Amino acid sequence: MKSVEPLRHTTREERERYLEEAGYNLFLIAARNILIDLLTDSGTSAMSTEQWAAIMRGDESYAGSESFFRMKRVVDELTGFRHMVPAHQGRAAERILFTVMCRPGNVVPSNTHFDTTRANIEYRGARAVDLPVPEAADTQARRPFKGNMDVAALERLIATDGAANIPLIMLTVTDNSGGGQPVSLANIADVSRVARRHGIPLYLDACRFAENAWLIKEREAGYEDWSPKQIAQKMFSYADGCTFSAKKDAFANIGGFLCTNDDRLAAQETDLLILTEGFPTYGGLAGRDLDAIAVGLEEVLDPDYLRYRIVSTAYLGRHIADRGVPIVEPPGGHAIYIDAGRMLPHIPKQQFPAQALAVELYRHAGIRSVEIGSVMFGDQAQHELLRLAIPRRVYTQSHIDYVVEAILEVNQARERLRGLEIVEEPPFLRHFSARFRPVG
């Protein structure tokens, strides 16, 4: 390490006060009051020396910036798509995609939609449908590809709703809301075959394409000797386009893009981009951000990095699961998910067990995590999960050992935990700003 940031300790009394002030919503707690921040792996990666060097090369020209062409070259080679539209982050790419492709009443299936993806589809008046494989329902099943889409359910949906009413099919790799589980190449091929047969475009929500590629290398027969890049290229080859948040597998602090093979759509997307994001060669980003993304997209495919990444995620998972804390098995790419519904059976889902666990982990040890359950997804929630997302290249094993200890201590005292109720919430994406109070 050649650059460090201090960690700030707080007392339990202070944390109790911060919780009250934040309405028991960890999104509303100031970062300076967090010791270990596992809220998200998004935009929180440590950048490399090469990325910082690239930032100094950033070309801030309004039109035709060199930085854009450097990023475009990397994206073209990796994905093979005809068009790449930069955007300030993943959800901006989603908003443009769904504005152009969706009409009110349409249906958009996915293995599992991410929260912003679902919200952007619903905001267009369309319906977002999750079609995970049945084995994803059992958090304890140790199966290799629990992120797969249920292809038979997709066929049934197309038969019921009609292909004309389905503007696109999405596959989230890895499946973030479904426990960070990978999607196999065989499944991507199957979904692609069904999509082509019905003339429906297939898009990848490709935020964690490199982690997905590594898990294919480790778990899917026939790909042991392929490089992560070859596997990623094969994944993209089945799709007609993608959305991407560079805040995940490009190690950037901000950024994203949208790709498509459709010339007509690309023209419409570019028009919309100019309206809200900026000129098509910067898309709401500084030139230096485009350069950081270009370098990050190559670094993330380094086998040594990916091996370290997946092993260190599994380290956290195994150390708590093997001592009795139920996690989504097997550990996936970017995060460990505790099955709070199973850990806290005395708290009904109407009282948000995973939110209660997030609050207790902060109160006990200053660790920030995030609920992925009924607070985030309402009645659509399949499970009550607590996500511990691991920022890339940021924490050491001793930081993670501290997290392990804290979780095991909270688990010892789990019967004392109480649920929460909502006192205030916005009309959509309520988890970001809702306020709670402890029950009874």
Ligand X SMILES: *Cc1c(COP(=O)(O)O)cnc(C)c1O
Given the rule CB under 6 A, which residues bind ligand X? 42, 89-91, 114, 116-117, 172, 176, 205, 207, 245, 247-248, 256
The amino acid that residue 328 corresponds to is: V
CA 248 to chain CA centroid, Å, is 7
Shortest reach from residue 27's CB to ligand X, in Å:
13
Say which residues have a Cβ less than 8 Å from residue 347's Cβ, sequence separation at least 6: 340, 353, 356, 417, 418, 419
Nearest Cα neighbor of 54 from 255, 271, 326 is 255
Q: Which is nearer to ligand X, 15 or 334 (CB)?
A: 334
C-alpha dist (Å) from residue 399 to 166, 287, 365:
46, 34, 12
Do residues 343 and 325 touch, judged by C-beta distance below 8 A?
yes
CB 68 within 8 A of CB 58: no
Minimum CB separation from ligand X for residue 100, in Å? 17
Q: How far is the CB of 212 from ligand X (least distance, A)?
A: 11
- Asked whether the CA dihedral 72, 76, 82, 88 is positive or negative, the reply is negative
CB of 406 to ligand X, least distance (A): 25
- Give me the least distance between CB of 255 and ligand X, in Å please: 8
According to DSSP, the β-strands at 370-372 and 385-389 are antiparallel
152 by DSSP, 3-state: which? helix
What letter represents residue 344's amino acid? Answer: L
Nearer residue to ligand X within complex by CB, 213 or 344 = 213
Closer residue to ligand X, CB minimum distance, 114 or 305: 114
Nearer to ligand X by Cβ, of 207 and 292: the residue is 207
In the complex with ligand X, which residue's Cβ is closer, 67 or 245?
A: 245
CB of 120 to ligand X, least distance (A): 9
Task: Give the residue with the Cβ less far from ligand X, 81 or 244.
Answer: 244
